[in-house]
C-alpha cells in the first residue's frame, strides 16, 4: 500500500557510494522504500522498512554544500543509504516522519507488516515442524526418555516450548524442583539422541549457584539420571562462556557446575564471548566492508574485527559437542540463559551429526526447533519495529550461526541439499518482518499473539519455489558425520553476504542456470556418478576427508585438464 504524502513518486537524489549522486524517484509503501534512478540502466534500491535500524536527518536549514541536506539511513543488512532533498517545502520532514513511523511500527503502536500481509501459498509453512513427529524420527520416546506436557500452559518455563523430552526416571515433580535451580527455569531437556549409541545432546541454562556456592540435590541427581541413560561414565557439560565470565555470573546469582557437587560430570568452558562482544565485532566488520573495501590493509582490518575468530570459537565448540556424542558420551550444553550460544552449539552439532538437518526441509525443522521453539530472543536481538537502535540487547547471534552454516557448506559442497541463496534469504527475512517466522522472543508470546493464524511462515514462500534453493551438487550420504576444520586458515569472510551491496562483487555471482549447464555432463552419465560416489566413500575413510567432495565437484564441472 502506497503511503501519503509519498504515495506518488517524488524526486530525490540518492548519494550512491559507488556511482555518485543519482537523481530518481522514490516510492514508499507500508512495507518498503523503493528508489529508481533516472539513468539507463536504472539503479534500483528495494529496502524493506523493517530492515532500517536508524533514520537521521543530515544537514540543517543553513547547509549550503551540494547534496548536504537530507537523510542518513542505517540498515541492519550491512548497508547505509544517504538521500539528498530540497530544503524548501518541508520535503525532508515529510519523508523522515513517514519512514520513522513505518520503519519502527512497534514504537508507534502499529502492527508489524507480517500481520498486514495478505500473501497466499499452497503449503502452510507453519506445519513444517511438529515436535512429536520430529522426536519420533529420532526414535523417541523410548525406555530411557519420555515426552512430557508439563509445560503445556508455559507454567514450568515461559520461554520453553510446550513439549519437552526428559529422562524417563524423572517425574514431573522432579522437573519442578530442578527448575528452581536453573536460570529462567530452563531445565536440562533433550535436543537430539544418537540412534546407535543413545548418547544425547541436552540443553539448559546455568545453575543458580551464586556467590555462596549453593547446591541442589535434585539438580545433581537429575544430571546423573541423564548420564545413566546410556551408561556414559562421565557426563560432559559444555559451558559456552569463558571461565572468567562464568565466575563473574556468580555475583548475579548464576554460576556453573562445580566438581564437588557434580562428581560424575566433566565441565569444559568453550570461551565464546557474550552478546555485547559480538555486537561490537559486527559493527567493526560493517565499517570495513561498506561502502568500500580498503585493499591495502584488508587482512589486518579484517583481523581487527575478530569476526572470524568468533566464528572459529563457535564452530570449534560445536565440533567438540558432535565428536563427544559421536563417540558415545552424552553432553549438556548451556551458556547463561540458554537461548544464544547454547542454540548456536546445539544446532551446529546436530547439523554435523544428522544428515536430515542438511536437507532443505530438515534445516527448516532445525531452525524451528532449536532457535524458535526454544526461545532465542529474536525481538530483543534484532529489534523488530523498535526505534531504540542503541538497545544493549541487540546482537548478531543468529547471523553468526548462519555464517557458521555457510562455512560448513564451503568445506562440504556436496553435503547440503540447500544452497547459499537460502541462507541469504533467511537473513533478509530475519529483518524484513514480512513473515511471522522470526517474530517475538518465545513460543508463549507467539501463541498469545496468534502468530500462526495471523501471519505467513517464511517456509511457505521457500517451499513454493524450492528448486531455487537446491544445491545442484548435493549427494545423499545419510550416515556421514561432518567435522569442519575450525582453523583461521580454512575460514573465509562470507563475501556474497557481507559485501554483496558492492556492485563489483555482485558481478562475480554465478547464476543457477550457468551451474546447471556446467553439471549437464553429470546428468548424462549417471553410471559415472555412481562409480565416483562409491570411490569417494572408500577414499573418505582415508586421510583426505572432505577434500574428496572437491574432487567430485572438479570432475563434474569440467574443471580439469
Give residue-wise pLDDT tens across range 500-526: 998 877 655 555 555 555 555 555 555
Q: Which tens digits make up the pLDDT trace of 372-429? A: 999 999 999 999 999 999 899 999 999 999 999 999 999 999 999 999 999 999 999 9
Would you say domain 10-103 falls under CATH 2.60.40.1930?
no
Cell numbers representing residue 287 in the block: 565499517
| Beta partners for residue 239, in sequence order | 269, 334
- 338 annotated to a ligand binding site: yes
The grid cell for 371 is 532457535
- What contacts 123, CB < 8 A, 6 or more positions away? 459, 460, 463, 464
- 57 - beta bridge partners? 71
> So what's the pLDDT on residue 511?
55
Name the pLDDT band for 541 (thresholds 50, 70, 90).
very low
Residues ≥6 apart with Cβ < 8 Å to 61: 87
Query: What local confidence, expressed as pLDDT, does residue 535 receive?
Result: 55
Question: Pick the catalytic residue: 157, 204, 335, 442?
Answer: 335
Q: Is 397 labeled as ligand-binding?
A: no
Predicted confidence at residue 67, as pLDDT, reads 83
Query: What percent of the chain is modeled with pLDDT above 70?
Result: 87
Joined grid coordinates for residue 143: 525406555
Cα radius of gyration (the chain): 25
Alpha-carbon span 239 to 260, nearest angstrom:
17
Tell me how crowded residue 163 is: count the other CB atoms within 10 A of its CB: 18
Tell me if 143 is assigned to a ligand binding site: no
**335 marked ligand binding residue:** yes
Average the pLDDT over 454-480 and give the result.
96
Q: What is the mean pLDDT of the chain?
A: 91
Q: State the average pLDDT over residues 65-79.
A: 91
pLDDT at 8 over 70: no
337 is in an annotated binding site: yes
532: confidence class by pLDDT, cuts 50, 70, 90: low
Lowest mean pLDDT among 284-298, 510-524, 542-556: 542-556
Looking at per-residue confidence, does 61 or 143 come out higher?
143
> Which of 333, 341, 265 minimizes the C-alpha distance to 310?
341
| pLDDT at 153 (0 to 100) | 98
List, for residues 346-388, the tens digit of each pLDDT value.
Answer: 999 999 999 999 999 999 999 999 999 999 999 999 999 999 9
Closest CA to 17 of 493, 505, 495, 501: 501
- Residue 274 known to bind ligand: yes
Q: Is the separation of the CB atoms in 285 and 498 below 8 Å?
A: yes
pLDDT of 279 over the 90 cut: yes
Mean pLDDT of 169-190: 99
For the chain, domain boundaries: 10-103, 126-506, 512-556
pLDDT in tens, 226-238: 999 999 999 999 9
Is 433 an annotated catalytic residue?
A: no
Amino acid at each position: 500500500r502506497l503511503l501519503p504524502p509519498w504515495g506518488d513518486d517524488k524526486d530525490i537524489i540518492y548519494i550512491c557510494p559507488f556511482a555518485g549522486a543519482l537523481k530518481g524517484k522514490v516510492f514508499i509503501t507500508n512495507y518498503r522504500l523503493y528508489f529508481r534512478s533516472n539513468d539507463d540502466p536504472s539503479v534500483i534500491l528495494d529496502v524493506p522498512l523493517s530492515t532500517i535500524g536508524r533514520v537521521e536527518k543530515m544537514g540543517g536549514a543553513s547547509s549550503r554544500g551540494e547534496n548536504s541536506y537530507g537523510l542518513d539511513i542505517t540498515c541492519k543488512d550491512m548497508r547505509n543509504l544517504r538521500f539528498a532533498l530540497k530544503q524548501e517545502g518541508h520535503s525532508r520532514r515529510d519523508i523522515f516522519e513517514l519512514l520513522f513511523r513505518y520503519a519502527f511500527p512497534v514504537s508507534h503502536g502499529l502492527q508489524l507488516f507480517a500481520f498486514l500481509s495478505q500473501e497466499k501459498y499452497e503449503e502452510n509453512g507453519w506445519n513444517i515442524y511438529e515436535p512429536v513427529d520430529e522426536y519420533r524420527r529420532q526414535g523417541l520416546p523410548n525406555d530411557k526418555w519420555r515426552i512430557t506436557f508439563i509445560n503445556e500452559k508455559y507454567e514450568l518455563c515461559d520461554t520453553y516450548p510446550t513439549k519437552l523430552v526428559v529422562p524417563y526416571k524423572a517425574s514431573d515433580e522432579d522437573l519442578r524442583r530442578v527448575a528452581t535451580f536453573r536460570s529462567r527455569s530452563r531445565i536440562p531437556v533433550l535436543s537430539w539422541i544418537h540412534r546407535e549409541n543413545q548418547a544425547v545432546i541436552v540443553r539448559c541454562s546455568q545453575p543458580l549457584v551464586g556467590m555462596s556456592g549453593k547446591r541442589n540435590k535434585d539438580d545433581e541427581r537429575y544430571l546423573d539420571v541423564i548420564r545413566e541413560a546410556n551408561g556414559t561414565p562421565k557426563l560432559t557439560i559444555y559451558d559456552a562462556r569463558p571461565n572468567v565470565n562464568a565466575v563473574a555470573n556468580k555475583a548475579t546469582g548464576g554460576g556453573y557446575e562445580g566438581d564437588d557437587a557434580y562428581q560424575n560430570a566433566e565441565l569444559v568452558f568453550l570461551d565464546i564471548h557474550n552478546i555485547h562482544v559480538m555486537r561490537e565485532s559486527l559493527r567493526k566488520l560493517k565499517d570495513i566492508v561498506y561502502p568500500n573495501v580498503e585493499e591495502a590493509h584488508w587482512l589486518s582490518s579484517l583481523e581487527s574485527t575478530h569476526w572470524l575468530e568468533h566464528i572459529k570459537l563457535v564452530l570449534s565448540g560445536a565440533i567438540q559437542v558432535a565428536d563427544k556424542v559421536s563417540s558415545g558420551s552424552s553432553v549438556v550444553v548451556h551458556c547463561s540463559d540458554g537461548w544464544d550460544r547454547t542454540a548456536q552449539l546445539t544446532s551446529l552439532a546436530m547439523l554435523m551429526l544428522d544428515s536430515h538437518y542438511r536437507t532443505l526441509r530438515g534445516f527448516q525443522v532445525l531452525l524451528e526447533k532449536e532457535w524458535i521453539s526454544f526461545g532465542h530472543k529474536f525481538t530483543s536481538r534484532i529489534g523488530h519495529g523498535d526505534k531504540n537502535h542503541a538497545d544493549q540487547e541487540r546482537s548478531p547471534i543468529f547471523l553468526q550461526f548462519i555464517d557458521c552454516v555457510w562455512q560448513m557448506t564451503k568445506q562440504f559442497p556436496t553435503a547440503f541439499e540447500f544452497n547459499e541463496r537460502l541462507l541469504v534469504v533467511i537473513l533478509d527475512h530475519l529483518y524484513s518482518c514480512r513473515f511471522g517466522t522470526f517474530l517475538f522472543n518465545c513460543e508463549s508470546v507467539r501463541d498469545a499473539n496468534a502468530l500462526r493464524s495471523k501471519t505467513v511462515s517464511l517456509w511457505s514462500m521457500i517451499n513454493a519455489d524450492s528448486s531455487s534453493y537446491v544445491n545442484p551438487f548435493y549427494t545423499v550420504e545419510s550416515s556421514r558425520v561432518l567435522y569442519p576444520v575450525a582453523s583461521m586458515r580454512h575460514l573465509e569472510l562470507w563475501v556474497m553476504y557481507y559485501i554483496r551491496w558492492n556492485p563489483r562483487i555482485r558481478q562475480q555471482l554465478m547464476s543457477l542456470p550457468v551451474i546447471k549447464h556446467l553439471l549437464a555432463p553429470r546428468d548424462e552419465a549417471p553410471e559415472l556418478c555412481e562409480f565416483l560416489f562409491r570411490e569417494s566413500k572408500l577414499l573418505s575413510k582415508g586421510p583426505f576427508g572432505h577434500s574428496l567432495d572437491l574432487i567430485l565437484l572438479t570432475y563434474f564441472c569440467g574443471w580439469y585438464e
